[in-house]
Amino acid sequence: MITILVDGIAYGMLLFVLAAGLAVTLGLMNFVNLAHGAFAMAGGYVTVVLVNRVGIPFFAGLPIAFLVSAAIGFVFERTLYVHVYSKNPLDQVLFTIGLVFMSVAAVDYVMGSSQVFVQIPNYLKGQFDVFGISIGRYRLLIIVLCGLLTVALQFILAKTRFGSRLRAAVDDSRVARGLGINVNWIFALTFAFGSGLAGLGGALGAEILGLDPTFPLKFMIYFLIVVTVGGTSSITGPFLASLLLGICDVAGKYYVPSLGAFVIYTIMIVVLIWRPQGLFSRVGSR
Amino acid sequence: MMSKYVTGAVAALALGALATGGAYAQGTVKIGLIVSMTGQQASTGKQIKAAVDLYMKQHGDTVAGKKIEVILRDSGSVPDHTKRLAQELIVNDHVNIIAGFEITPAALVAAPLATKAKVVELVMAAGTSIITEKSPYIVRTSFTVPQSAVIIADWAAQNKIKKVVTIVSDYAPGYDAEKSFTERFKSHGGQILQAIRVPLANPDFAPFLQRAADAKPDAIYIFVPSGQGGTFMKQFTERGLDKAGIKLIGTGDVTDDDLLPGMGDAAIGTVTAHMYSADHQSAANKAYVAAFEKANHFRPNFMSVGGYDGMHLIYAALKKTKGKADAESLIAAMKGMKWESPRGPIEIDPQTRDIIQNIYIRKVEKKDGQLYNVEFETFKAVKDPVKAAKK
Amino acid sequence: MIPSPAAIRAATEWLSARARWHPLEMLFWLAAFAAIFVLPDQHLILTEIAWLGLFALSLDLILGYAGIISLGHAAFLGLGAYTAALLAKFHIVDEPVLALLCGGFVAMAVGFVTSFLVLRGSDLTRLMVTLGVALILAEIANRNGWLTGGADGLQGVDIKPVLGLFPFDLAGHTGYTYCLIVLFILFLLARRLVNSPFGLSLLSVKSNPLRALAIGISVDTRLVIIYTISAFYAGVAGALVAQTTAFASLDLFSFDRSADLLLVLIIGGAGYLYGGLIGAIIFKFMQDYLSALTPQYWPFWIGLVLVVLVLVGRERITSWTTPIRRLAARLDWRTTAHLTAPSTEEPGH
């Protein structure tokens, strides 16, 4: 029972780290970045190459995955995405899907189409028992890491100057601009940070979710579910939505395996009909 | 052996020269190779493509006075797209053989075309039993899922495994694998504690594994499509099921040679039944693996031998018909054909046009720092059990 | 206030001019029908283009004319396909045209029921709700393998000759002619529909639902109606797939289908009916050409085309065709074309 709960939380946390960047992009610029998964994939593959082939330690690989994905995100944002913000949403869909196709084929070309895994250190494998409850070590690591990240994120958003500017920009970018906040710059940084988070998520998730070139397509649906169910006006919304989905999905599969795939979709539809703007959106925002 | 490579190289050069010079209409046997080179099944498609290329490099592109031309098309694993491609290859390119088909619906959707147009359909991958019954022109060089499922059930029963939880993917080949195993295992007096089906697009096996573990079986029997084995394996050990004394058995799909090197030590000790392992001890296989790895950057898996043997079957059949490439002659020549494949001795069943082959029981072990499926028991000349039972 | 007679006349004139056939349109359909005789070896891909075009047209009806964006339109494609295939398999309705209509009606019924789910919410909400519906339907079809054949697909479908006269042949001649005629008839109906007062009221709903409500247009009713009609169109497209391939598979419900469809429509441009058809032609031929050229890496090139298309701007690309369009306008013997047409007539906006 507790084991299932822990699994669910770990899964949900992972989803959150993967999708957090997307939520911010969507909330800030009203821009649906379907290529978000590609940044996650980049982080995953960077870790695979570094850890498996170059042989650097797993824990050193994680921050590098973050930095590389963030750098790629930053470059792409500055060179390509900026030209697309002003286009209509359908063009944005076309553009980001195009990027996904390109990333899928390019990774296939460079890395091959088979699934790959990161070699995690031995002490992270297996489970340990706490009062008769078995908890997976790697899952616990995910929970701890993602938990820390969430706290850090929340701190940055709520307490720092950057955070308050970001919140101002999300709430009303025109007024924020008027107040002399450089919204474009904030956005580029946020985009890079979100991509970095996705990359970190990809690196962490490779062990559990598997990693192959179709990753951005396969998980696009999951990211979108998290973001729509959670709403885009805050970071807590997607966080709670991720946890909810993770736990419901895992518990649903455990207790009623015959309904397996239905659980997550049904939750989504019910939530969206009940709260079209997302479960945790504040009234009054976009 | 060396001279073979030399002739292969010469032939490859000749092929290059011809390709630029344009193909002859007459005296050419065209093979439409339809596999998915993109999407979820891309690794299977690439294995087959690589094996086909390798065979042609080794054996030249002319047989019985005919030039062999392979036209590659990407199906993307979409059945209606596959059908259109097959139709175009038949109608516009006048191919004599359509080959490939990595998923069952793709093989099935093309079957009426084979019958109607009188074209040989050579199934190089898809493993559902019924496929070969759908047209008199279908031949298979891969395997059927029940072949392996039944054998592992036999083996499990002989090796003191009494209680089993089955986990299969929730789609047709999964049902095949579940049914064949369960029936055979029960007939030996075994007990199925639970039958779990997991959604095909399933990122996380954790809850299903937890459920299986809670039932406390002697072993878990697993079937997942080629490509998902790695994730499953990781989570199996993560859950500590190996330490709890639960064995992992299954068909060879889960310890796919393509993925095995990346699975890590998690996979060690898994016992599976299948028709091919890159570690198969024979001269033919050693040469095959060496040549394959030289040409590509990955290890050949059980899908690749389907493609390799498929090409061999075409070449051998053409030799026998002296270059006649109509479907009737080719099928007649293919029936009962026997040869030594990298996987061991194989034969095309004259009655069902399906493949008869040895099924090996293998255990994952580390050899020279690499993981391999090491064969330790052989069940000789296994026919497709589903069709055998019908008679 | 009663509008002046002159204003009424101007309005009716504008309306009828809007509904009048442009020479380019006639050219388009002439070419399509000429392909039956001129391009016999392309009929298989043209068949695919015809049903994809119809499918895209159905999405255009809701996206281009009512502003409902959907990422689950494949739900109706799959429903239509399975209905038509099952009817043929069990010899309930052997005649393809009748089965085609049945396929459409089943999709329509489900479309009506689910239309209430898309009435509220933002674009993103609608995307996800429609997607969810499609995924759930796919899972239902997967679970009920006894009826649908599950992941193996529905086998043993034997499609009888159209109207009892024209059997489906290997080269796809019947298939293309059949699909094209169905497409043309449904296109005519759609054209009539969007130029009717109903169609105009839809446009007003799309551009400003609040104001539409204020001038007495019942927004919800209209959305339900157009969504239901669109589902019918998609169902018919699905039935065409099933009949021309004598097969139905789970893949028809998939997310990829809906996503590709959206691409097709966006490439062609939404909101002028031809967008879906043109998009289908461009997308299919491009995909076919690229995937024959490089079977492994064609998605990269497609992706590149899409990215460049957006960065350069579709308007700029379509503007290359302006001289041709101006020429066509000059060729137009109907002088009334000088009336100022609203921007909705322009492709790509």
Query: Using one digit for the tens of pLDDT, what is the confidence trace for B235-294?
Result: 887 777 777 788 889 888 888 888 888 777 778 888 999 999 998 889 999 999 999 999
Domain containing C27 equals 21-254
Same domain, B175 and B269: yes
CATH for B87: 3.40.50.2300
**Cα–Cα distance between B84 and B388 in angstroms, integer?**
33
Same domain, B36 and B177: no
Taking residues B127-155, report their average pLDDT. Answer: 90
Give the gap in angstroms from C-alpha A209 to the nearest C-alpha of chain B. Answer: 5
pLDDT at B233: 83
Query: Is the residue at A230 inside a domain?
Result: no
Give contacts of C153 with chain B, Cβ < 8 Å.
79, 104-105, 108-109
Give the gap in angstroms from C-alpha B267 to the nearest C-alpha of chain A. Answer: 13
Same domain, B266 and B208: yes
Contact assignment for B238 to A112 by CB distance below 8 Å: no
B25: confidence class by pLDDT, cuts 50, 70, 90: very low
Residue C295, exposed/middle/buried by CB under 10 A (0-12, 13-18, 19+)? Answer: buried
Given a contact as 3+ CB pairs under 8 Å, which chains touch A?
A: B, C
DSSP-derived secondary structure letter, B253: G
Same domain, B19 and B139: yes
Is the pLDDT higher at C108 or at B262?
C108
Give contacts of C253 with chain B, Cβ < 8 Å.
none
Contact assignment for C152 to B104 by CB distance below 8 Å: yes
- Is the CB of residue B298 less than 8 Å away from at least one CB of chain A? yes
Total domains in the fold of chain A = 1
Same domain, B258 and B386: yes
pLDDT at C315: 67
Characterize B95-112 residue by residue with b for buried, 16 or more Cβ atoms within 10 angstroms of its Cβ, and e for exposed: bbbbbbbbbbbbbbbbbb
**Cα–Cα distance between A232 and A19 in angstroms, integer?**
11
Give the gap in angstroms from C-alpha C144 to the nearest C-alpha of chain B. Answer: 11
pLDDT at B62 over 60: yes
Given a contact as 3+ CB pairs under 8 Å, which chains touch B?
A: A, C
Query: Is the residue at A234 inside a domain?
Result: no
**Model-level pTM?**
0.85
Domain containing A113 equals 2-215
Tokens at C256, concatenated: 């990829």
Query: Is the residue at A110 inside a domain?
Result: yes
How many C-alpha atoms does C139 have within 13 Å on its Cβ side? 20
Contact assignment for A101 to C299 by CB distance below 8 Å: yes
Taking residues C242-259, report their average pLDDT. Answer: 88
- Is the CB of residue B60 less than 8 Å away from at least one CB of chain A? no
- Is the CB of residue B261 less than 8 Å away from at least one CB of chain A? no
Contact assignment for C151 to B80 by CB distance below 8 Å: no
Give contacts of C142 with chain B, Cβ < 8 Å.
170-171, 200
pLDDT at A61 over 60: yes
Give contacts of C85 with chain B, Cβ < 8 Å.
none
Same domain, B26 and B133: yes
pLDDT at B254: 86
Total domains in the fold of chain B = 2
Contact by Cβ (8 Å): B262, B298: no
**Cα–Cα distance between C250 and C145 in angstroms, integer?**
10
Give contacts of A266 with chain C, Cβ < 8 Å.
132, 136
- Is the CB of residue C148 less than 8 Å away from at least one CB of chain B? no
For every residue of A152-214, which 3-state class applies, written as one string? HHHHHHHHCHHHHHHHHHHHCHHHHHHCCCCHHHHHHHHHHHHHHHHHHHHHHHHHHHCECCC
pLDDT at A70: 93
Best B46, B53, B84 residue to mutate vs chain C (most C CBs within 10 Å): B84
Query: Is the residue at C145 inside a domain?
Result: yes
Please state, rounded to an integer, the average pLDDT across all residues of chain B. 85
Domain containing B129 equals 2-143+281-353
Give the gap in angstroms from C-alpha B236 to the nearest C-alpha of chain A. Answer: 9
- Is the CB of residue A283 less than 8 Å away from at least one CB of chain C? no
Give the gap in angstroms from C-alpha A124 to the nearest C-alpha of chain B. Answer: 9
Same domain, B344 and B302: yes
pLDDT at C328: 65
Give contacts of A262 with chain C, Cβ < 8 Å.
136, 139
pLDDT at C237: 95
Give the gap in angstroms from C-alpha B266 to the nearest C-alpha of chain A. Answer: 9
Best B71, B91, B113, B168 residue to mutate vs chain C (most C CBs within 10 Å): B91
Q: Interior CA angle at B88 toward B87 and B94, to 5°? A: 95
Query: Is the residue at A223 inside a domain?
Result: no
**Interface B:C, Cβ pairs < 8 A:** 91
Contact assignment for C251 to B105 by CB distance below 8 Å: yes
Q: Per-residue pLDDT tens for A177-212?
A: 888 888 888 888 888 988 998 999 999 888 888 888
Contact by Cβ (8 Å): B129, B144: yes
Query: Is the residue at A54 inside a domain?
Result: yes
Same domain, B174 and B259: yes
Q: Per-residue pLDDT tens for C113-137?
A: 999 888 877 778 888 889 889 989 9
Contact by Cβ (8 Å): C173, C44: no
- Give the ipTM of the model, two decimals please: 0.83
Query: Is the residue at A239 inside a domain?
Result: no
